Every structure is written in structure tokens, then in C-alpha cells.
Amino acid sequence: MARIALGVTGGIAAYKAVLLLRLLSEAGHDVRVIPTANALRMVGTATWEALSGHPAHTSVFEDTTGAEHVEVGTWADLLVVAPATASFLARAAAGIADDLLGTTYLVATCPVLVVPAMHTQMWQHPATRANVQVLRARGTHVLEPATGRLTGTDSGPGRLPEPPEIAAAALALLAEPVLRGTRVVVSAGGTREPIDPVRFIGNRSSGRQGIEIARAAAQLGAEVELVAANVDSALLAGLPVVVTHVETAAQLAERMVTRAADADIVVMAAAVADFRPAAASDHKVKKDTGLALTLEQTPDILAGLVARRRPGQTVVGFAAETGDDAGTPRAHAEAKARRKGADLLVFNEVSDTKGFGDVPNDVVMLDAAGSEVARAAGSKADVARAVIHEVARLRGVARMSR
């Protein structure tokens, strides 16, 4: 959980900052709002206080007991100002500290994200351009406004970006690039094993969990390749990683083994077929001839990667388990962790509502001895961040002990 100070200035888009506050809080962060006096003409104190659970002061004279004019700036891990008016940009550029937001901006040593919103003419005015340049030169992150409908009937650049976009930019600043310089290869999706040129044996994996793992690693500065087995390309749009497409378990194995030779972190999130037709027909099998399949086992790619693990390499596997007569899902997962020997085995129980597709996930991370080292629940992105965080932690510990 990070501590976020959210400055709101007096633009009409202040109402969108309410949604931004909600998104940042729902992402698990502690948010304190600092509205300017003009922001309160748009959205009142009660809204900011009720939604943040903190007092929302404007002036440095409202609470003088705790030196709030200094305290909020030192408290914050991140300062976001959204919307930022032309006037705020000018005051920040000049270092004018005549209210609580102004003092907080000068005190803060954390990353600062400023999200301007104003009419196009104001945004394009040389005074504003110069102020933005000063702020950027100082290391303040200034988002480009969106282009679209403005307050009245006019439209152009100057519109506040939508709250989810601002929240994503804010959260990206919170993530320290602890994996910078680290090479990561992640497999995702489900393999398809051909029966004939038109049929295959496949599985229900969408690839979402592996995609989110790749994204989470990239967000922490890693150089990532995603080896995608039959993943819908719409899910890959905008993903900041190199993607290699494969279809079969054999192709996936070949690519993973090649990339793992110089990777620091290897994640096997793909659902690999355990069996494939021993021989695929090179022509379409006709319905009236009948179809008897002889299956052969595919090699266990994860086990192979563990066996070839380079010194210092972290190998992560996944295990989706259901219970049966022989044991609970957890017991199967613990046995698998010991059998596979990965540094981390991310186990989730599969049921109608958990595991596959666009549904929340709930995982337990086990070490190679089958002992629990961490848990995570939430969206696949939340789980991915937790897994990558655990990998980073493991690598930190490994570095220290050597």
C-alpha cells in the first residue's frame, strides 16, 4: 500500500478526480486529497473526506498543530495533481506556495504526476508551454491532455484523460524498476496438438495470467519475451514486451529452452498439453473412417527448464489443481512443487468460478519443498504483480546470501 497525495485544482474536470480517488483507493492505496479553494467550488469537502477517509484541507492554516504544510509532502510516496489548471502549472513552475497544495508540491521529494486539463488555447499558450517545460525539466511528470470535448461545445486538446488512464500512469510511477536489466521469458496460453490439418487437442487457457505476468515484469523494468501459445491477439494489444507465437508443446519447448539459456527469470504460465497424438495425419481424417487416437506424453518443459537452470536463474511454474480421491488440491500442489523443483510454484484451485478466462484468481505460492511462501488474490493483474514481487524478493534474498 502506497501513500498518495491527490491535489485537485479548480477545473471543471474536478468531478473526474472523484473517480480517480476511488480507483487509487480500490487499488489498495491510502489517498489524501488536497483540494484548492477553487476546486471546492466544483466538488465539496464532504465528498473528498468521505471517499478518502482523511480530512481534506486547502489552506496551511486549517491544521497548524501538525505542520501539515510540510507533513503531507513528506508523508506521500506519490503526488498526483488532477486536474491541473493553467494557473496551477504557473504557480508550481514559479514555486508559489500560497496554499496547502503549493507547499506540498515544494516539500515532496516523491514522484509527482501532473495531469493538465484546460481549454485548447490555454494549453497551447506560450506561457503554459513554458511552464510545462520547466516542470518537466525538473523531473515532474506532466501527462499530455486528451483531445476531445471540452467544457462547452468546443473540442480539441485539453481534455482530462479518463480516470483509469490517469490511475495507470500514477501506479506505474509507484513501481520502482527493480527488474531493470533483468531478462525474463514467460510462456502463456494453451498449446494445440494437431490430430490432422484441421483438428487439434487443446485446452481452455486464455493466456491472460501469463500476459499479466509479462506486463508486471515489464512494468518493473525487465526486458521481457512472451512466448504465446494460441493467444487471442486482442489480448496482446499494447503489451510492452516482445511476443513470439507458438502452437504446439514442441514449439513452446524449443523456444523456452532457447530463451532460458540467457534469461534471469523463466515463468511457465502456459497450459501445456500433457498428451499429443503420436502421429498427426497429414490429410483431414474423414468422418466415415472413424478416428482412433494413439496419444503419447509430451516432455515436461518446466522440469527440463529446472534441470537446465543457470546459476542465479529463478524458475516459476504454475499448477491448476482440482481435488480427487487421492488428495485435496493443495496436497496435489505440494507434491507437484516437490516433484518439479521450481523456485516458485503458483498454485490455484480450479473450479467453475476460479482459474480460467476473465475471472478473479486466488493463488498460493509454494517453494521447491512445497512450503507456502506467499498468497495473492484478486484480478489476474493483481496476482501477476504479487508473483513478480515474490520473484523479486526471492532474487534479492538470493543475492544477499551469496
Residue 285, helix vs strand vs coil: coil
Pick one of 268, 315, 365, 391: the residue that binds ligand C5P (CB under 6 A): 268
Could you tell me whether strands 275-277 and 295-297 are parallel, antiparallel, or unpaired per DSSP bridges? antiparallel
Q: Which stretch binds ligand C5P (CB under 6 A): 51-59, 109-117, 196-204, 266-274?
A: 266-274
Site for ligand C5P in 320-359 (CB under 6 A): 336
Site size for ligand C5P, by CB under 6 A?
13
Cβ contacts of 399 within 8 Å, gap of 6 or more: none
Residue whose CB is less far from ligand C5P, 265 or 268: 268
Query: Nearer to ligand C5P by C-beta: 34 or 249?
Result: 249
Residue 266 touching ligand C5P (CB under 6 A)? no
Long-range CB contact pairs, 103-107, < 8 A, 24+: 103/60, 103/69, 103/70, 103/73, 104/5, 104/7, 104/34, 104/69, 104/72, 104/73, 104/76, 104/79, 105/7, 105/73, 105/79, 105/81, 106/73, 107/69, 107/70, 107/72, 107/73, 107/74
Sign of CA dihedral 237, 241, 245, 250: negative
Residue 203 annotated to the active site: yes
Taking CB under 6 A as the rule, does residue 247 contact ligand C5P? no
Which residue intervals of 224-368 are DSSP H helices? 249-260, 301-307, 329-340
Q: Work out whether 264 is an interface residue with ligand C5P (CB under 6 A).
A: no
Sites for ligand C5P among residues 14-73 (CB under 6 A): none
| Of the candidate residues 274, 362, 372, 382, the single one contacting ligand C5P (CB under 6 A) | 274
Under rule CB under 6 A, residue 272 binds ligand C5P? yes
Task: Give, in order, the Cα–Cα distances in Å from 359 to each of 237, 316, 356, 379, 383.
Answer: 19, 22, 7, 7, 12
Place of cell 512450503: 371
Nearest approach, Cβ of 249 to ligand C5P (angstroms)?
6
Q: Report the distance separating Cα 401 and Cα 166, nearest Å.
A: 39
110 vs 229, which CB is nearer to ligand C5P?
229
Nearer to ligand C5P, 217 or 272 (CB): 272
One character per residue 281-320, x = contact with ligand C5P (rule: CB under 6 A): -----------------x-xxx--------------xxx-
Q: Contact between 270 and ligand C5P (CB under 6 A)?
A: yes
Active-site positions read 203
Residues near ligand C5P, by CB under 6 A: 249, 268, 270, 272, 274, 298, 300-302, 317-319, 336
